[in-house]
Amino acid sequence: MATSSSPLLSTLFLHSPPSSSRISNGSFFNPSPRSLSLYPVRSRRCLRILSKLPLDDTDNDDCALLPRLSAAVKPFLLLCTSVALSFSLFAVSPAVESAAAFVVTTPRKLQTDELATVRLFQENTPSVVYITNLAVRQDAFTLDVLEVPQGSGSGFVWDKKGHIVTNYHVIRGASDLRVTLADQSTYDAKVVGFDQDKDVAVLRVDAPKDKLRPIPVGISADLLVGQKVFAIGNPFGLDHTLTTGVISGLRREISSAATGRPIQDVIQTDAAINPGNSGGPLLDSSGTLIGINTAIYSPSGASSGVGFSIPVDTVGGIVDQLVRFGKVTRPILGIKFAPDQSVEQLGVSGVLVLDAPPTGPAGKAGLQSTKRDGYGRLILGDIITSVNGTKVTNGSDLYRILDQCKVGDEVTVEVLRGDHKEKISVTLEPKADET
Which sequence positions are flagged as catalytic? 169, 199, 278
CA angle 357, 360, 365 (to 5 degrees): 95
Contacts 24+ apart (CB under 8 A), 339-345: 340/394, 340/395, 343/383, 343/394
- Kindly report the CA angle at 194 between 192 and 197, in degrees rounded to 5? 170
Q: Please name the amino acid found at residue 235.
A: P
Q: How far apart are CA 90 and CA 94, in angstroms?
A: 12
CA dist 146 and 248 (Å) reads 44
DSSP calls for 134-145? EEEEE-TTT--E
Distance in angstroms (rounded) separating the CA atoms of residues 308 and 310: 7
- Classify residue 66 by its DSSP letter: G
Rounded-to-integer distance, Cα 137 and Cα 135, Å: 6
Burial class (CB in 10 A: 0-12, 13-18, 19+), 48: buried
- E strands, 113-227, are 128-138, 145-157, 163-166, 176-180, 186-195, 200-205
**CB–CB of 392/353 below 8 Å?**
no
DSSP class of 38: G
Query: How crowded is the C-beta side of 24, counted as CA atoms within 13 Å?
Result: 13
The region that residue 26 occupies, defined by phi over 0 for left and psi between -120 and 50 for alpha, beta otherwise, is left
User: In this structure, which amino acid lies at residue 207?
Assistant: A
DSSP conformational letter for 215? P
Cβ(310)–Cβ(350) below 8 Å: no
- DSSP lists the bridge partners of residue 353 as 337
